[in-house]
Structure 1
């Protein structure tokens, strides 16, 4: 079943880590570590290597506090505080993602459609990366399940490297050198913030692994620059179809006290909102790429 035990010469926590692959190229479940305890360097390095290899890793039965979640994330880099997050229990580093906030968003969307005299389009979560609107996006994210429905509310992650590699060669050639916009201004403006529209390469080089990543955020008004609008739409449709292919995906069913840790530069994700009016809550901590880039 693709189980790997990391045996070390010394008696660190890393010697107890067991990594079970969930899909051939993306997703692994890690056991043998207690995230409520400080990580030694060997364990931290082994987990980081697993994240780079599998793009997203999962931990079960981790009954940790918010402070412990932040402390775990901080072992992998400086914490990034999202400008639209109000924080949880006065902790601005923790971003609560709740069904209640989504309901408010849907109400605002309905009111805007009514004001414009337009029908309300059905909501669909979009394949996206976190903070891709920044010049130097957060490299990682740690998400903890807090209030989880008995069924539903899964999250899908996509191996954006495999999605790129699976493109026809002629499409790869068409994408070479092109950039795509990431526009988060509307949400930032609601929070009293602003940031210019950023364009990243559509086929983006991963800064650590060197892999080529198909990197588009469909929640941030993407437009491919340097081509006609019709061609931009065509290429975006091809990319979206790649993201939707099951062979590039891992789907995670949440339990209370589950934790997901992913490489934001190597994967895109999609939240499945099929849990009705259940008050689902997950909490996220973002990890900045490097300290000197934390504010860019």
Structure 2
């Protein structure tokens, strides 16, 4: 990141870009750039620096095509095609996230619970990161609003660095050296794939900023290794409570042609499903970390 430092990314204006902070530690809206066009090096570096500084940045009124969506993301690293999606309209790099697919998942989940003789428990959208089940998760993601309800369907991002910093010192001490599981096998098995259960540090060091990140994926059956289940559950409950604190969050209201670009290593997010049966659609492109290990 030769052109722009993290401190510079906190300015209101960076050349043609305007960056407006939305919350003190997380979230910024960027204007003054046309994402349909290739970025020059300085603009690309300014956007990357803003993502590192603010964890998630947003763009409005960007009427980009799917090809342009992929091209924009590719300027920040190699693209990772998620194994549970066949892509969208001959774009294998794009993961369509639809209300219809969620409804199918809910139906399958309820049927599986009934067949197993287990009580049905209501699905809860959980605070999570994308591809944390991999040895080397995707570093970034670019999400585009496609079919958006007039009201509802927001996404919440959490500053996982601030969430860690806000823990009591005794809890930080208890978390030192601990690892938590990320288990995505159930979803992978449904599409004929598998992957070993991976464990990442609960308090994970960010590879670029050096910050300590509170990094748990509550959608992937987390368990803290080396502890009694009761203590693991206690610590996970403390972490979840941190994620839920509004002072660590930014909430984004989608509109058509809006984009969110976030640092998947520094933030967790939560999809708010309060739009009834509206056929909401967003599309995501993942950016792999460390090209040498992108296939892991």
TM-score (norm 1): 0.96
Partners of 1:156 and 1:251 within 8 A in 2: yes
Give the paired residue count. Answer: 287
Shift of 1:114: 2.0
Q: Counterparts of 1:109 and 1:100 in 2: how far apart (Å)?
A: 14
Partners of 1:3 and 1:21 within 8 A in 2: no
Post-superposition Cα deviations, 1:81-134, rounded to whole Å, max 9, x if no partner, equal: 111111000111000000000010011112112223333212210000000000
Query: What's 1:258 paired with?
Result: 258
Where does structure 1 differ by over 4 angstroms across 4 or more consecutive aligned residues?
none
Query: What's 1:83 paired with?
Result: 83
Q: Counterparts of 1:116 and 1:227 in 2: how far apart (Å)?
A: 28
Select between 104-113 and 218-227 the one with higher mean Cα deviation.
104-113
Query: What's 1:178 paired with?
Result: 178
- Ranges in structure 1 where 5+ consecutive residues have no aligned partner: 7-14
Partners of 1:17 and 1:32 within 8 A in 2: yes
Query: What's 1:4 paired with?
Result: 12
Q: Counterparts of 2:158 and 2:123 in 1: how far apart (Å)?
A: 20
Q: Counterparts of 1:86 and 1:157 in 2: how far apart (Å)?
A: 26
Query: What's 2:142 paired with?
Result: 142
Post-superposition Cα deviations, 1:246-266, rounded to whole Å, max 9, x if no partner, equal: 000000000000000000000
- Ranges in structure 2 where 5+ consecutive residues have no aligned partner: 1-9
Shift of 1:3: 6.8
Q: Counterparts of 1:177 and 1:127 in 2: how far apart (Å)?
A: 22
Query: What's 1:197 paired with?
Result: 197
Q: Counterparts of 2:43 and 2:11 in 1: how far apart (Å)?
A: 17
- Pair 1:55 & 2:55 matched: yes
Post-superposition Cα deviations, 1:17-66, rounded to whole Å, max 9, x if no partner, equal: 00000000000000000000111110000000000000000000000001
Query: What's 1:103 paired with?
Result: 103
SS in 2 for 1:70: helix
Q: Counterparts of 1:65 and 1:144 in 2: how far apart (Å)?
A: 10
- Pair 1:92 & 2:92 matched: yes
Q: Counterparts of 1:156 and 1:22 in 2: how far apart (Å)?
A: 12
Q: Counterparts of 1:294 and 1:80 in 2: how far apart (Å)?
A: 7
Select between 105-114 and 63-72 the one with higher mean Cα deviation.
105-114
SS in 2 for 1:255: coil
SS in 2 for 1:83: coil
